[in-house]
Amino acid sequence: MLFVTIPFLVFFLFTFTIYWLLPVRFRFVGLLIASIIFYGSWSIPFTIHLVLIIALNHTVIELWKVWPKRWLFYSLQVINVFNIALFKYYYFFFDIVGRITGISDWLDPALRFSDRLNGTEILLPLGISFYTFQIMSYGIDIYRQSYKVQHKFREVLLYILFFPQLIAGPIMRGNELLPQLTAMQERLMPNFDTFKRAVWLILAGVFKKLLIADRVAPALAPFHYGDLSLIAAPMVWIYTFVALASLYADFSAYTDLARGMGLLLGFEIPINFRAPFFLVSISDFWRRWHLTFSGWIRDYIYIPLGGSRVPEFRNYLNLVIT
């Protein structure tokens, strides 16, 4: 179910209605079931895979709490990285191996094992980058002892599966969403101002997606596949700007929709874009574009590597790594 489709509209209206009609003590379970149904509508096997990954992380983290071995924590993060790398770079990796070793004839069947899987090749699980970042940040925060309360498995499960922001972000930290999940019983239905704000965000998202991104992208296809050397330089610059604007409209549309739906369900989802085309410098761009991702990179990679408080060469190396 894509966000801007009739099936999803029906799904969300049904979820919204049932969620607020349910007795307070059942709302958590209702939202969890809705999130599982949403992801399961794309792929039941990948839904099972995601639940198992969450269960593995939760189990290892709970084990680490009573048996705090550093290798246990790092092994878990290696598994998380391997999980995303397997799906994102499977074909790329085997193609490189085939070219280097010269055994492409042997690798071709491995790259196309549709016959053995009834026509199903290895595809990319929906939102794998976003949910991997959230899973890893939760584990790292536990390792850093950033949480003051114990979280149950069902809370961690819904934290990762929360459907408004599951497929395209924003990337939410545990300290942003988990407290809202544990306080669901205290939450009231949105007031008029919140409802108006939510509807505005949803309309903005629909406008960006349907009237900008989905219309501009097909018009850019000739440039994607054409020879840019045959096009005048001013047109190339115009194409570059329009392509970036289309990407922004598409990406930020999902954020607006997620934030609007979150508000209707009583949740605050963070802003992910702050007028990125009004930047004053390259560094300012990263303070405006995909804020939750750049913040994740900063807090979980760049700063642990030493950030800018290191010798100049090491600082440049840290920047390259991040």
Residues 6+ apart with CB under 8 A from 227: none
> Do 208 and 95 belong to one domain?
no
Domain that holds residue 233: 192-321
pLDDT tens-digit series, residues 101-136? 665 554 555 444 433 444 445 467 889 999 999 999
Residues 11, 128, single domain; the answer is yes
The answer to whether 46 touches 126, Cβ cutoff 8 Å, is yes
User: Do 165 and 121 reside in the same domain of the chain?
Assistant: yes
| pLDDT at residue 112, as a whole number | 47
In this prediction, residue 89 has a pLDDT band, given cuts at 50, 70 and 90, of confident
Number of domains in the chain: 2
Last residue of a domain, one of 154, 186, 218: 186
- Mean per-residue pLDDT of the chain: 83
Say if residue 178 is in the same domain as residue 85.
Answer: yes
* 1 within domain boundaries: no
Compute CA 95 distance to the chain's CA centroid, rounded to the nearest angstrom. Answer: 27
Domain endpoint, select from 166, 186, 206: 186
Nearest to 37 by CA among 21, 19, 22, 23: 19
Model confidence over 23-79: pLDDT tens digits?
988 999 999 999 999 999 988 999 999 999 999 999 999 999 889 889 999 999 999
**What are the tens digits of pLDDT across the range 233-286?**
777 777 777 888 888 899 899 999 999 999 999 999 999 988 877 777 777 777
Dump pLDDT digits (tens) for 179-217: 998 887 777 788 999 999 999 999 999 999 998 888 887
Instruction: Write down the pTM of the prediction.
Output: 0.86
Which of 148, 163, 186 is the last residue before a domain boundary? 186
- Same domain? For 148 and 248 the reply is no
Whether the Cβ atoms of residue 173 and residue 110 lie closer than 8 Å to each other: no
